Amino acid sequence: MLKVGSLVVLTNTALRDWTGIGSVVNVIASDADLPELTLYEVDFASTLRTLHASELKPIPVSSSCVERNRLLIAHEEAFESYIRRASELAEAVGIMTDEEFELLYSRARAARQFLVETRDRLNDHTAEHHC
């Protein structure tokens, strides 16, 4: 079972090259508590998609490639920063001045951009070195 923050790729290899690596941002359990019916919201650089586990392949963190491991750690840190900033923004809606909200919004937007750039570096490295 995947959890929030898990790195994944699509099992459909034709689409995998298009979407690259994604991060699970939400886990939606089924009403029947059946793991195979669990849905995952995955943030790919190009889009947010809701998918079944059967459509996703987890990316193992351990690898003999030092650079890939460094990029995975950087991606995880960027993801956690983005989630933190987005949560701060969500909590602030309607209770802050416009200026304070704009500051939080710009921080969340910058964290999202950094996450996308970090994921792109990981995607590029993985594609080039096949690790």
3-state SS assignment for residue 121: helix
Give pLDDT, residue 14. Answer: 65
Task: Tell me what pLDDT residue 24 has.
Answer: 92
Q: Helices 98-129 and 66-92 meet at what angle, rounded to 10? A: 160
Find the Cα–Cα–Cα–Cα dihedral 73, 107, 84, 77, rounded to 10°.
Answer: 0
In angstroms, what CA-CA distances link 32 with 35, 53, 110? 9, 16, 39
pLDDT in tens, 28-45: 988 887 877 899 999 887
- Domain extent listing, the chain: 7-58, 66-129
Q: How confident is the model at residue 62 (pLDDT cuts 50, 70, 90)?
A: low
Length of the chain (residues): 131
Structure pTM?
0.59
Written as six digits, the tokens of 88 are 């701060």
Q: What is the pLDDT of residue 59?
A: 82
